[in-house]
Chains A and B, each alone.
Chain A
Amino acid sequence: MVDFSLDAATRERLEQLRQLGAALLRPAGLEADRAGEPLPPEHPLFARLVQLGVGRTRWKPAGADPAEAGEQAVSNGATGPSLTGVCTAEEMAYWDRGVVVAFPGPGLGEPPILSMGSEEQKQRFLGPFRQLDRPRWGAFAMTEPGAGSDVAAIRTTARRDGREWILNGAKCFIGNASRADWIVVWATVDPAQGRAGHRAFVVERGTPGLGGFRVEKKMGLKAYESTSFTLQDCRVPAQNLLGGGGGGDRRAGFKGAMRTFNATRPIVAAMAVGIGRAALDEALGFAREQGLLERPEVRARIERIHRKLRMARLLCDRAAWLADRGRPNITEASMAKAVAPPIAFEATSLGMEILGEVAGQGDSLLEKLFRDVKAMDIVEGTGQIQRLVMARKLVGLPRE
């Protein structure tokens, strides 16, 4: 039955995040933005987050005690994990989206290991993330200088040599790469095969040939590192190939990885909503202080931002709700991802208009949000890619 309320457990979780956000995330994000550098791995925030239980893997070895510390108990019949994820992502991004990406943990590298890895691989790579002794990161490397949205065009090669694979190529814009214990690197065994030639390797820190790390300078979201690196005759043991243990599960693994997009796209969209809400609150607070709330143009902007953000949030929630029920949500997930970031961008831009020349000073939170939010229409599939995905479903747009 149609219902738009949140259960008590989720509301309580959001309240906790509000406290965490105000106390830790917002200040850390501003600190990194002012410094123009990512928060260093030894920043006390990360140790504090680990104390709070952040950064642990979802993976559990067979036979583990389900009640072990750090497990989020799923209360009976409560909000599903996707919707919870969307709500919490929105709230955390409200406080600082860049810091959220810098959070310790296996990150985007976790889903492919979970869906394609053997038990032994999960133990080896995710095991250290079960009870964290210190902040640890994993990373996921697909994007290359010449292959962004067109994933099939990656040029990093993998060549088998006995019990090892030799990787050669370059990756860019990889989150947390230089501090990661390992990086899930996508490479091709045969560029002519497109995606069918793709393989995923877990490349461990310190592997000879893995190097040339360069932390990129970004317009916004400075709190986390987006890093380029190279693989030069980088020898990776065969047991680090994911989904490589024979059997026909590689395709299933790839599909599984694609399915995770249907869960992560609404999350990224919800993060945009969170940034937009932060912009709205900043603009509203400024307008109140300056006595601008009676001005019709200010009211019109506030109304529009509020309404559009609410609509974007509903699109995110619905896509996640579908995922929680195991129902197809490709169109809805892409719709949320296509719609929310431009709305959030507009929220920051209209917010800066309300500040007027004050925003031009460049030291307001709103100005930072304006720089931060643009990335949300690019990562996890650009707005254009989302429209391609939607159009395939809606009008049978062929894959070229």
Chain B
Amino acid sequence: MTDFALDGEMELLRETARAFAAAELTPQERAHEAARQVAPSIRKRFEEVGLSGVEIPEGLGGGGLGSLARALVLEELAAGDAGAALALDPLGPALYPLLELGGEPALRELGLPLLGTSGQRAVLLWRPESALPAAGQKVSLEAPWVPTDRVDLLVVLCREGAFALREGIELERVRGSGLRTAGASALRVASAPLVGSWRGPGESRRALARARLYLAAMLVGVMRASVDFSRHYAMNRVAFGRPIAHHQALAFLLADMHAAVEGTRLLLWEAAWRCDRREAEAPVACAAAHVEAVEQAMFVTPNGIQVLGGHGFMQDHPVEKQMREARALGLLLGGADPARAEAAAAWVQRGEGSD
């Protein structure tokens, strides 16, 4: 029966993530961005608060929670600093092909060694048209940008399944646009050996869906932070004799920005809820949440700057960084276009009168 309330465990998780982000991530975000990494002391602190393994199965020492729990945590961390949220997550969305296709053995062998505070990173690439290479085969591929300065595990998701490699991955540091705290590199693999290859189109679809939720949750966090900051700014900044938030042009804009965040979050929660129930239509809902998040983030975060005017363009305030982070997040996994195509394909096939 319809219920929008989080239970106690979820609420606690969200509060923990929010407190960590406010205390550790936001104050350091410019320093972290300049250094292209999160300070080791904060990495250690993150391990201590126990937010790192929310979706890792309990049997492997994780929290054993699902997509909704993860979405709550990711929103909070990304609201604090999206680049840092990625940097602090060794597996990132590469977790999902390991879980859905490789199962616990693959996660144990390939994923778990990356966990901890050593700063190792896995990268997920979505290459729908790629053929699935057989174990023992060698592969070559390129990516113009991945948000990391090191790759300890590369997982490539295609329609047929997924494959992984650990060696032969060459990186060239690039400047990066957003998410620089997590690093930025061009990636090249030339005839490198596989460490795993798994077939399963259905599982691949679910892995992609969960990866899309991951990005959508981060985008909701970035958007929310932009609205929060610009709203408070507008309530204090005075022009023409009153707080600028009390001029209708900005009051209405802020109301619309807030509604954009709330609506996107509801789509995200619904998709995550369907994912956790492993509903057959969950991937479509995840695709829709992803598209909505990418689109709304490009409405909200530029307007976060707009509210601050010239100050918003300066790097003294987080709103310019939020716009760059939102844009960068929206480019990952092929961006919104493939998600839009997947949702469209599902919806035009469905009959009229269906929900």
Contacts and interface: CB of A to CB of B under 8 A. Distances in A.
A7 to B, nearest CB: 5
Contacts of A306: 288, 343, 347
A212 interface: no
A143 to B, nearest CB: 22
Given A79-B1, A300-B340, A3 B273 contact: yes
B4 interface: yes
B267 A6 contact: no
Contacts of B340: 300, 303
A395 to B, nearest CB: 4
Given A335-B262, A339-B259, A7 B345 contact: no
A307 B248 CA distance: 29
A387 interface: yes
Nearest to A298: B348
A65 B2 CA distance: 30
Contact of B2 (A6, A18, A300, A395): A6
B270 interface: yes
A306 B352 CA distance: 12
B256 interface: yes
B1 A281 contact: no
B252 A315 contact: no
Given A2-B4, A302-B344, A303-B340, A395 B266 contact: no
Nearest to B242: A398
A303 B4 contact: no
B343 A307 contact: yes
A181 to B, nearest CB: 36
A118 to B, nearest CB: 37
Contacts of B348: 284, 287-288, 293, 298-299, 302
Interface in A4-21: 4-7, 18
A115 to B, nearest CB: 27
A300 B6 CA distance: 34
Contacts of B274: 4
Contact of A299 (B235, B254, B255, B341): B341
A150 to B, nearest CB: 15
Given A321-B3, A395-B234, A338 B259 contact: yes
A303 B344 contact: yes
B7 A307 contact: no
Contact of B266 (A298, A315, A398): A315
A387 B1 contact: no
A116 to B, nearest CB: 31
B288 A391 contact: no
B354 to A, nearest CB: 9
A3 B270 CA distance: 8
B266 A396 contact: no
B321 interface: no
B251 A391 contact: yes
A126 interface: no
B1 A78 contact: yes
A395 B344 contact: no
A310 to B, nearest CB: 7
Contacts of A317: 2, 4
A272 to B, nearest CB: 14
Contact of A2 (B68, B248, B345, B353): B68
Interface string B128-172: 000000000000000000000000000000000000000000000
Interface residues of A, number: 49
A302 B254 contact: no
Secondary structure of the B side of the interface?
helix
Contacts of B292: 307, 311
A394 interface: yes
Interface string A379-400: 0000010011011001111100
A92 to B, nearest CB: 15
A314 B288 contact: no
A303 B347 CA distance: 7
B1 A395 contact: no
B298 interface: no
Contacts of A77: 1
B269 interface: yes
A314 B271 CA distance: 12
Contacts of B216: none
Contacts of B3: 1-3, 321
A332 B252 CA distance: 15
Interface string B237-272: 000000101101001101110110011101101100
B251 A314 contact: no
Contacts of B251: 387-388, 391, 394-395, 397
B252 A311 contact: no
Contacts of B234: 395
B280 interface: no
A387 B263 contact: no
Contacts of A1: 3, 5-7, 10
B62 to A, nearest CB: 21
A2 B245 contact: no
A83 interface: yes
Contacts of B243: 395
A2 B262 contact: no
A245 interface: no
Contact of A83 (B2, B264, B291): B2
Interface string A141-165: 0000000000000000000000000
B231 interface: yes
B267 A310 contact: yes
A318 interface: yes
8 contacts: A311-B266, A311-B267, A314-B267, A318-B266, A338-B255, A387-B251, A395-B231, A397-B248
Pairs of residues from A and B, 9 with the lowest C-beta to C-beta distance, nearest first: A395-B245, A303-B344, A391-B251, A314-B266, A299-B344, A281-B352, A390-B255, A3-B3, A387-B252
Given A281-B352, A307-B291, A397-B245, 7 more contacts: A1-B10, A302-B348, A339-B263, A387-B255, A391-B252, A391-B255, A395-B254
